[in-house]
Amino acid sequence: MAIELCILTLNVWGIPLISSDRVARIQSITTELKKGTYDVVSLQEVWSDSDYEYIRKSTEEVFPYSHYFYSGVFGSGLCILSKYPIISALFHSWAVNGYAHRIQHGDWFGGKGVGLCRLLVQNRPVNLYIAHLHAEYDNINDEYKAHRVIQAFDTAQFIESTRSDSILQILAGDLNTEPGDIAFKVLTQTSNLQDTCEDDMIGTNECEGNSYTDKTVAVKSPAGKRIDHILYRAGRSVRAAVQEFDLPFPNRVPGQSFSYSDHEAVFARIQIADVPEMYEGDGICENIYSPETRVQVLEESIEICNARIWKLRNDRIFYVSMALLVAIALFFIADTKPVYGLQTFFTISKFLLSAVVVFFIFMSTIWNTMERHGILSGKLSMEIACKYAKSMRQCDEKIN
């Protein structure tokens, strides 16, 4: 018996007080969803509870089942809408997820991770995963590269550990990584997920046709970057194939001068069919990547982790040194009798310098240790996976 699933994923760019035309765009996105074209919808950056409630209530006739993954300070921003029953839900937070003091980036405050909704599709389980990896804010000096690689590998391990008896596993979300990036490779090659898109020229972010794309960026790369993905893997005794892939939303909201989001919506229609018992395996996506390439990807990821751990040692020295320098400055200010009329200035200066000392001590001790442990945990897991991939490679070499 064949089953078809129509999946849509979209980063709605719903940051209150910051995202342009947020209310109007959320309403327009909801209007599109209410058409009933899709079976399941994966939304990211739904940062406002009111936006989620509006989307949920407005589309409940089409999607009677929904789930929001609460996490962190502002919530994960992740939610799923489904025509099919959601029989269970689970959220797994990542060990490393940016920095709390980088308020302008904000990833840490979202408490990001990977969410799972287990759907019952024609009485058969389908695992729908949703994730929003850490953004790349500087492609030349990407300080979050190790975090994103750890998140990608952690997501792959989570999918591998929870796929159970599901006939299909789908990961749909803004992964902030292009197909050629190391994070994308480690995610797909350690989970055996397959891309629903075969066109490398398609972009989903910073596209020329999007109203929110900076013109200077659009000139350099009109197609934009493909960082929003729908990945899939067939379950045991099941064959899965992509029937259609598209960016379904128009460039502009009808009647308006702006786009639905700064990202493009991504759509895929996947067909699932049982295979005869004599051909039973673990799905057509099983072992689509060779052990050799998997070893290469994991070794590169491990080196990225090693480089980050070394950087953390230098960071600790820097923060300790800064704490000592500021503490010395604070000592001299505290020992100086303020000139008449400047008492308030001296008091504020002492307070601010004390806060800076506390910050540097916190960063050199608690925060540095937490990040190091998060990176180290992911690295050690990668080494286990790499060792296993090497053993599989040796087996293939003996057979051949």
3-state class (DSSP) for residue 68: strand
Tokens of 338: 């303020």
Nearest residue to 66 via CA among 13, 140, 130: 130
- Cβ of 358: how many Cβ atoms within 10 Å? 12
Can you tell me whether residue 4 is helix, strand or coil? strand
DSSP string, 130-170: EEBPPP-S-SSS-TTHHHHHHHHHHHHHHHHHH-TT-SEEE
Please work out, in degrees rounded to the nearest 5, the angle formed at the alpha carbon of residue 353 by the alpha carbons of 351 and 356.
110
Nearest Cα to Cα of residue 80 among 93, 70, 61, 67: 67
Angle between helices 22-33 and 49-59 (to 10 degrees): 30
Structure tokens at 45: 């950056």
Under a CB-based contact definition with an 8 Å cutoff, are residues 14 and 26 in contact?
yes
Beta strands in the chain (DSSP E): 3-14, 40-46, 65-69, 78-82, 86-93, 113-121, 124-131, 168-174, 194-195, 228-234, 238-246, 266-274
Q: What is the rounded radius of gyration, in angstroms, for the C-alpha atoms of the chain?
A: 24
Please pick, among 92, 105, 263, 373, the residue that the annotation labels catalytic. Answer: 263
- Tell me if residue 132 is catalytic: no
Q: Give residue for tokens 């070794």.
A: 299
What is the spatial distance between Cα 375 and Cα 369, in angstroms, rounded to a whole number? 10
Report the catalytic residues: 263
